[in-house]
């Protein structure tokens, strides 16, 4: 069975500070991994995806994520937080024809 764990349901960072959102996965096959962002009252938007081509993946809005097989992790980072980054972020794993989502991390930006 596959699973995704997001550590920290709420994360607060100051504007301009580093953003780090954690995601660990469990999969019996090489994973395809995704990060999605959800702004209030909207659907989910794809931030970035890992498809085994490169371990460091760059996405939209200055976000990037690094796939670490030895740690079964796919943490999301952004060097400098902006107020517009306030949203909920979901890590997801594709396998067996389905996406399995983590429970989400709500990111708050402190002015």
Partner 1 sequence: DAGITQSPRHKVTETGTPVTLRCHQTENHRYMYWYRQDPGHGLRLIHYSYGVKDTDKGEVSDGYSVSRSKTEDFLLTLESATSSQTSVYFCAISDVVAGGREQFFGPGTRLTVL
Minimum Å distance from CB 46 to partner 1?
6
**Residue 35 tokens, joined:** 């990060």
From the CB of residue 59, how many other CB atoms can be counted at a distance below 10 Å? 17
Q: Is 9 a binder of partner 1 (CB under 8 A)? A: yes
29-34-40-43 Cα dihedral, nearest 10 degrees: -80
Residues touching partner 1, count (CB under 8 A): 23
Tell me the C-alpha distance between 95 and 78, whole Å.
Answer: 27
Which residues within the stretch 12-51 sit at the binding site for partner 1 (CB under 8 A)? 32, 34, 36, 41-46, 49, 51
- Indicate which single residue of 53, 56, 84, 111 sits in contact with partner 1 (rule: CB under 8 A): 53
Which residues within the stretch 66-105 sit at the binding site for partner 1 (CB under 8 A)? 90, 94, 97-99, 101-104
């Amino acid at each position: 069975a596959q699973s995704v764990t997001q550590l920290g349901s709420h994360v607060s960072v100051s504007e301009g500070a580093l953003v780090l959102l954690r995601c660990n996965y469990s999969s019996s096959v090489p994973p395809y991994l995704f990060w999605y962002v959800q702004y209030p009252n909207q659907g989910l938007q794809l931030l970035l995806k890992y498809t085994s081509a490169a371990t460091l993946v760059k996405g939209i809005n200055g976000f990037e994520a690094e796939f670490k097989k030895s740690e079964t992790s796919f943490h999301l980072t952004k060097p400098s937080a902006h107020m517009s980054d306030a949203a909920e972020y979901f890590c997801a794993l594709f396998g067996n024809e389905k996406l399995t989502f983590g429970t989400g991390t709500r990111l708050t930006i402190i002015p």
